[in-house]
Amino acid sequence: MAFESRGFTGRRRSAPPGRLPPGQYDVGSGFPVLSAGPTPRVPLESWDFTVQGVVDQVRRWTWAEFQELPREPVTADIHCVTSWSKFDTRWEGVAVDTLLAGVATDAGYVVAFCDGGYTTNLPLADVVGGKAWVVDTFDGEPLAAEHGGPARLLVPHLYFWKSAKWVRGLTLTSLDEPGFWETFGYHNRGDPWLQQRYAGD
């Protein structure tokens, strides 16, 4: 398994008061690239997004249909489990609330699945109520493939591995099913303010 790490630039800076979780540092203008394996590249005409699993009916959007959904700007601090944080990142995309609008489900959990085979699991409560988005722009530009483009999940209140790159859909489940990093010992939830980096934290 290959790992890429690029974009660690600049000096560590003093963080804004009350915004840096324990054990983190402010990466400043850098935006590290951390990926397990190669970067998937999917033509937009082949891209789609699916909501499936414990639902009354599978929902699916092509790229063109996804672009027609109501969109939201999002400004958020993000925190990587490798200890860097980046403040006031600017994204735009579709709220998970919008994608799940009208979906009838008894599920309590979600598994995000992605190109390249990556998955991550979350409680449904962590992706609804204005807490998560599927974003396709960063700083006003189309989201670069190295940062998860054409679209990634954004769940800024949890460690950034939960904001799955190259996301292609959500599977709603009744049982909690560990994702890729969770099966390798990462924490099941990943709250940066509680330093939930690894199982047992």
* Residue 168 domain-assigned (yes or no): yes
Q: Taking Cα atoms as reference points, which of 74, 93, 98, 92 lies closest to residue 157? A: 74
Q: CA angle, 115 as apex, 112 and 121 as ends, to 5°?
A: 20
Give tens-digit pLDDT for 143-190.
Answer: 999 999 999 999 999 999 999 999 999 999 999 999 999 999 999 999
In the chain, the number of structural domains is 1
Is position 114 within any domain?
A: yes
User: For residue 17, is it within any domain?
Assistant: no
Residue 38 is assigned to a structural domain of this protein: no
Is 6 part of a structural domain of the chain? no
pLDDT at 14: 64
CATH of the domain at 139: 3.90.420.10
> Residue 1: inside a domain, yes or no?
no
Residue 10 CB contacts under 8 Å (≥ 6 apart), including other chains? 27, 28, 29, 30
Of the candidates 170, 201, 37, the one whose C-alpha atom is nearest the C-alpha of residue 98 is 170
Distance of alpha carbon 184 from alpha carbon 18, whole angstroms: 31
Does 2 map to a domain? Answer: no
Which residue from 80, 81, 40, 46 is spatially nearest to 63, judged by alpha carbons?
A: 46
In a domain, 40, yes or no: no
Q: Under DSSP, is residue 196 helix (H, G, I), strand (E, B) or coil?
A: coil
> Which regions in the chain score pLDDT beneath 70?
1-14, 36
Cis bond before residue 156 (omega within 30° of 0): no
Task: List the domain range (segments joined by +) for residue 164.
Answer: 22-32+45-194
Asked if residues 74 and 130 have their Cβ atoms less than 8 Å apart, the reply is no
**Secondary structure of residue 37 in the 3-state scheme:** coil
- Position 1 scores a pLDDT of 34
